[in-house]
């Protein structure tokens, strides 16, 4: 309880209540623009947080994360184009409601369900994460290596239909993490005589190149006439949600929030999967499933409560085990490291007061999200009118400025361009970028603890299977890979 009140004292500084609305506004705008995601918003804003206190910086990035996840529902409802993949299920009933002239009602329910799901997820993070962290204090090098392997096994779940491509991406990421000076022996590796590579590749530089630059290149053939529908501001009416509709949506919101928390706490899943599962379960349990897909407000409630319900839950494995729950938390994990906070069980022991401030702050983030959304719902249609040609130039400018400000050297600009070009061709070949990112983040953790464990065991590999926790995580990793491979095989067999 002492850490709780210390965290509350840190949170109640007035600066935090300024950056949270700013982060939410940025996240909602980025999430509402098709093709841009909260991941990209977090990446672009990490350099802006360098001079901030850790609590303030992480709260701003979390606000972007939550705001972006909610903001994607705006374009899903208005123009039948989800701003993020997490809002894809919202299309089924959101856009039909908008075509009926009830866009305001659909947007209002999306906001309400997102807020409830986000609040329940934040409470789950606050009460579950510290308990899990107490168990993980027993971990040694063997357990950390097993955790890293478990984290890398997530690749099987984020590789679409090709686990092989996911493994190749992970190998690329792990190779990138080995560039520079070895942490244990002090020797340089894969620098090719270039002194700029001795310190390795900065995580934020890799993130900007992998996601932002490649996204701009992927959109280089964007055609506003064919890739985007016109938005009518008159589509947003003032039809309010009735008391009966709120009553009918209680069960979908509760079910969606629960599914979001469970799915979010499982590494390698994320809000998109949670939203589809929640929508499907709500439709199957409904007394009138035939109305789903034709403008059923319960469908919006189910999907939006689930994807926001996953936001806080995805941080549970990241904070307690050092294993990112999804792509956004992998980026947030890098932000934690940049601000001197290494996710894992020791984080609760060493910086528990700051961590409690962040977890309590996530509740405040969702409250502010509801207030901001309530005020600006009627103006959301105008966000989608920003020409992408102008937007791409703005994003590219932020990328270059952010990469240069990381280490104040031009060399990093060349690195993000190289990463962007490589990522572009990988994406054209249907490779996913999250496995590469996981390889970059978890590669050093796996390598360092593998070598430390071997030093403790005099070179014997038995240390990884004789320690119960280590063996358990290795078996779970093998089991998860086998499960994903089996599911992919069944899906391919059907087609």
Instruction: State residue 477's pLDDT score.
Output: 81
Distance CA 243, CA 385 (A): 33
pLDDT per position as a tens digit, 433-488: 778 877 887 788 788 888 888 888 888 888 888 888 888 888 888 887 787 677 66
Is the model more confident about 406 or about 289?
Answer: 289
In this structure, the number of other CB atoms found within 10 A of the CB of residue 465 comes to 13
Q: What is the mean pLDDT of residues 316-335?
A: 79
Q: Is 80 exceeded by the pLDDT of residue 121?
A: yes
Q: 204-225: string of b/e by CB count within 10 Å (b at 16+)?
A: bbbbbbbbbbbbbbebeebeee
Residue 131: band (very low, low, confident or very high) from pLDDT cuts 50, 70, 90: confident
Using alpha carbons only, what angle is made at residue 420 by residues 419 and 421, rounded to the nearest 5 degrees?
Answer: 95
pLDDT band (50, 70, 90) for residue 119:
very high
DSSP, res 211: I
End-to-end CA separation in angstroms for the chain: 55
Which residues are 188's β-sheet partners? 181
Over range 204-214, report the average pLDDT: 78
- What span, in angstroms and rounded, lies between the C-alpha atoms of 404 and 398? 10
Chain centroid to Cα 470, Å, comes to: 27
Average of per-residue pLDDT across 53-77: 86
pLDDT at 429 over 80: yes
User: Is 126:360 a contact under the CB 8 Å cutoff?
Assistant: yes
Stretch 275-303: mean pLDDT: 82
pLDDT of residue 443: 82
Strand partners, 180: 189
């Amino acid at each position: 309880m002492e850490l709780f009140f210390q965290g509350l004292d840190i949170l109640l500084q007035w600066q935090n209540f300024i950056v949270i609305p700013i982060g939410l506004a940025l996240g909602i705008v980025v999430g509402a623009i098709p093709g841009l995601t909260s991941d990209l918003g977090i990446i672009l804003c990490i350099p802006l947080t360098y001079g901030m206190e850790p609590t303030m910086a992480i709260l701003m990035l979390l606000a972007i994360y939550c705001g972006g996840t909610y903001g994607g529902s705006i374009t899903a409802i208005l123009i039948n184009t989800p701003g993020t993949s997490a809002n894809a299920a919202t299309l089924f009933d959101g856009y039909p409601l908008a075509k009926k002239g009830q866009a305001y009602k659909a947007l209002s329910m999306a906001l309400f369900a997102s807020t409830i799901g986000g609040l329940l997820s934040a409470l789950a993070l606050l009460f579950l994460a510290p308990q899990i962290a107490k168990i993980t204090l027993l971990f040694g090098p063997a357990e950390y290596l097993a955790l890293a392997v478990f984290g890398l096994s997530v690749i099987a779940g984020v590789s679409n239909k090709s686990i092989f491509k996911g493994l190749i991406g992970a190998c690329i990421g792990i190779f990138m993490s080995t560039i520079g000076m070895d942490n244990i022996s002090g020797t340089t590796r894969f620098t090719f005589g270039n002194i700029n590579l001795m310190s390795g590749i900065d995580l934020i530089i890799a993130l900007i190149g992998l996601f932002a630059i490649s996204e701009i290149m992927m959109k280089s053939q964007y055609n506003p006439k064919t890739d985007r529908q016109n938005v009518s501001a008159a589509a947003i009416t003032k039809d309010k949600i009735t008391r009966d509709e709120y009553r009918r949506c209680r069960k979908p919101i509760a079910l969606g929030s629960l599914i979001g928390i469970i799915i979010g706490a499982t590494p390698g899943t994320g809000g998109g999967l949670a939203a589809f599962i929640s929508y499907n379960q709500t439709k199957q349990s409904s007394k009138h499933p035939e109305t789903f897909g034709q403008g059923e407000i319960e469908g919006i409630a189910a999907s939006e409560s689930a994807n926001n319900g996953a936001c806080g839950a995805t941080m549970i494995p990241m904070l307690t085990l050092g294993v990112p729950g999804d792509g956004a938390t992998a980026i947030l994990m890098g932000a934690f490291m940049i601000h001197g906070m290494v996710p894992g069980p020791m984080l609760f022991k060493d910086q528990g007061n700051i961590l409690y401030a962040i977890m309590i702050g996530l509740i405040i983030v969702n409250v502010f999200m509801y207030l901001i959304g309530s005020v600006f719902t009627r103006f959301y249609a105008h966000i989608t009118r920003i020409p992408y040609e102008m937007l791409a130039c703005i994003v590219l400018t932020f990328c270059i400025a952010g990469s240069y400000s990381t280490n104040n050297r031009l060399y990093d600009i060349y690195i993000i361009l190289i990463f962007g070009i490589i990522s572009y061709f990988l994406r054209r070949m249907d490779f996913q970028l999250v496995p590469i990112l996981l390889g970059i983040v978890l590669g050093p953790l796996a390598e360092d603890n593998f070598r430390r464990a071997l030093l403790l065991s005099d070179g014997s590999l038995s240390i990884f299977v004789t320690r119960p926790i280590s063996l358990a995580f290795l078996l779970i990793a093998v089991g998860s890979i086998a499960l994903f491979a089996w599911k992919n095989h069944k899906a391919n067999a059907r087609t």
